[in-house]
Structures are given as C-alpha cells and as structure tokens.
Amino acid sequence: TVISNIATLVTNDPSLEPGSPRSSKFGSGGRSPLGLVRDAAVVIEGDRVVWTGESSKAPATDNRVDAGGRAVLPGFVDSHSHLVFAGDRTEEFNARMSGRPYSAGGIRTTVTATRAATDAELEANLTRFLAEALRQGTTTFETKSGYGLTTEDESRALRLAARHTDEVTFLGAHIVAPEYAEDPAGYVALVTGEMLDACAPHARWIDVFCEKGAFDGDQARAILTAGRARGLHPRVHANQLSYGPGVQLAVELDAASADHCTHLTDADVDALAGSRTVATLLPGAEFSTRAEWPDARRLLDAGVTVALSTDCNPGSSFTSSVPFCIALAVRDMGMTPDEAVWSATAGGARALRRDDVGRLTPGAYADLLILDAPSPVHLAYRPGVPLVRAVWRRGRRVEP
C-alpha cells in the first residue's frame, strides 16, 4: 500500500530536517524535531513501513490511498494509563470542582468497585476505553494494575491487560491496601513477595506511586528493586502532588520514565538531564485536579527528553484523548506544537524504550494517522475538534 498526496508527513526522523545535526535534543529555537517531509508518501508492506519520502519518488504499488493533501503522523504512543478498573468517580470530580482538593485517598473508592467487578466487566470497560483511544489516534498504549491491591486482584488486572497490550505495568504499590492501613511495612512485604511472584509473569514494568500518603523513597526503592530482580523494568509516579524523592530515585534505578514531574527542584531537573530517564508529563491530571502545570519548557531547555500521555484513570484524569493533552501542553506548559506532537509519539516510544513505534521510517510498525488538517500544528490550533480522520495499526486500516 502507498499512502500519497500527504501535505505534511511527520517521520520523527531528525536526519530529514535540512541542515540540522543528528540530535535528539531541541529547544525553542525554531528547528522542528518532527523530521517533516512535504508532498510526501508512505509505503507499507505487511505490518511495517518500508519507504517514506517525496510523493514524486514513491515506488509504484497497486494499492494507493489518497491522503487528499492532509497531514500524516505516527500513531500516538500513550505510555501511561490506568484502564483496569470499575465504577467511576463523578461525585468526587464534581465536589472537587466545587472546591474540595484532590488527594490520593480517592483511589480507595475505585479499589472497592474494582474488587467487586467480574472479569467480564473489567474487560468490557478496558475494551471500551481502548476503542475510544484508538478512534483518537492512540495505536500503542501502556496500562497498569493498581486498583486491586490483593495478590488475586492485581494479578487478574495484569492478565486482562496483557490480552490487549504488551506494555503492562504492575502497580501493586499504588497505595497501601486498606487492610494494611496500620501495617504499611506488611503491605510492602506482600507486594515484594507473594504479590510480585504472582504478577511478574504478566507484566513488563513495575511502577510505584512515590508520594506522601502513598509510598516514601525507601519503600519505593525496595519495591522497584524487588521488581527488577524479577525481570521487571522500573517506572515511577514521581513528584506529582509535592516535591519528593521520586524523580531522583527513578534516575538512580535507570527507570524508563519518571511520570508527572509536576514539582521539581533544580537538582531533579539536572538528574533527569543527565540520565536516559524520560520525564512523562500528564496534563490531563493537572486539568482535572486544577493543579499547577508541570513546566515542560524548563525540562526541554535543560535537555530532558519529554513524553506526553493521558494518565487515563477515573480519579485524576478521565480522558483518553492524546490530542487534548497536546493542546494543554502547548497552551499551558510552554511546549511548541511540534514539540508536543513529538512528545506524544516519539517521546512516548522513548518512555517505553521502544524504537519500532512513534516514528514513520523504514522498519517501524505502520501505525499512523491521517488528520483532517494539512499540518500537525492543527492538533493544538483546533482544540477539542476530532481531527483524527483515519487510523492504521500494524499496516491495517482500523478506523473508521
């Protein structure tokens, strides 16, 4: 298949930008990180991209798709979501918008509902949110456990998630389970022992909510280290609600990603800049909790690799829309439109340590979107408008 008549193609291949050095670092100085090609075509064979370039030079193939002078970009890589849950938290959101602050305690409401749900109910919920995300252009997603908090409920969440994605994260350490409220050390022992034994076979990643009211730095280190010993790679919910040890712990353990990064000291920023740990920003959470925005500009100017994801969950960020997050990041976090699009595609791939998604270059998966717009800038320029017109995943058209 060849998709031709593409006004603007986002490859995320920096070597394609004329006159620019091969570099993954970019600031506000004007150069696009997106590896743009004008009047472009993409050739797909099986599930992979085999060629990208100017339309006039595209190899001939039978199956032609006319993009109609629109923009094409890699499918979004949503590297942070919590989609295995039951129930919702409408009332909590409603109360919060009337002035009550957000706290980690609301997680318990979802834990109760999730434990009470059948496998079929949880999977139906998961499938619904995945379909919703796919329509909005997400072709790779990570998702976590963390609303079970018993060995059985956590391992069942991961089993269900693993039917739908390879990027499955064990978050038994989301909060201390209510049964262990008086014995947090006992809960850490459970998570690093029996629960990890049951969960490790179903997951690729291990995550901890490192925050006041959840797990402190020493507990988080013990949990992530135990996970690593069982072959899971660390990622961390870090510095979301307050300053704390999460980001530096993530760097210390070579975590793929430190997520949220809302409250950062200069030392936190320096640690990220000197590491290969990605800062994953989740503006849906600040939007839905009316919290202070993370400062993407500060991170980018320091040379940190930034990813943008939804954090889709019923408590702090109930959106599955990456385009919405791109618009917020541009409006309120100091990102240029091109930087935000890079972070939601190539950045997400970095946060999952993947090089087969998040770019449209030969060898990558043919996961791509046609936008109802001539340029990816429109994702921020036309907020709230459903611009994703068609989606290919693994070389097959899946939407509409």
Using CB under 6 A, list all residues that contact ligand NIG. Answer: 82, 106-107, 110, 209, 237, 240, 285, 311, 313-317
Min. distance of Cβ 184 from ligand NIG in angstroms? 17
Site for Fe ion in 236-275 (CB under 5 A): none
Is 19 marked within a binding site? no
Is 20 marked within a binding site? no
User: What is the C-alpha end-to-end distance of the chain, expressed in Å?
Assistant: 17
Residue nearest to Fe ion (CB): 311
Q: Indicate whether 17 belongs to the interface with Fe ion (CB under 5 A).
A: no
Strand partners, 237: 209, 259
Exposed e or buried b per residue across 341-368, where buried means at least 16 C-beta atoms within 10 angstroms of its C-beta: bbbbbbbbbbbbebeebbbbbeebbbbb
Is 233 marked within a binding site? no
Specify the pairing of strand 138-144 against strand 64-74: unpaired
Paired tokens of 347: 């950045």
Label residue 141 exposed, middle or buried (CB < 10 Å: 0-12, 13-18, 19+): buried
Residue 106 binding target from Fe ion, ligand NIG, none, CB below 5 to 8 Å by type: ligand NIG
Distance CA 134, CA 137 (A): 5
Applying CB under 5 A, among 311, 338, 339, 367 the residue interacting with Fe ion is 311
> Which amino acid, residue 129?
F
Site for Fe ion in 354-373 (CB under 5 A): none
Is 298 marked within a binding site? no
In the DSSP assignment, the letter for residue 233 is: E
Residue 306 binding target from Fe ion, ligand NIG, none, CB below 5 to 8 Å by type: none
Distance CA 294, CA 213 (A): 21
Residue nearest to ligand NIG (CB): 315
Pick between residue 96 and residue 221 the one whose CB is nearest to ligand NIG: 96
Q: Please check whether residue 258 is in contact with residue 251, taking contact to mean a CB–CB distance below 8 angstroms.
A: yes
Is 24 marked within a binding site? no
Pick between residue 147 and residue 392 the one whose CB is nearest to Fe ion: 147
Is 164 marked within a binding site? no
Residue 240 binding target from ligand NIG, Fe ion, none, CB below 5 to 8 Å by type: ligand NIG
Binding residues for 4-imidazolone-5-propanoate: 89, 147, 174, 240, 316
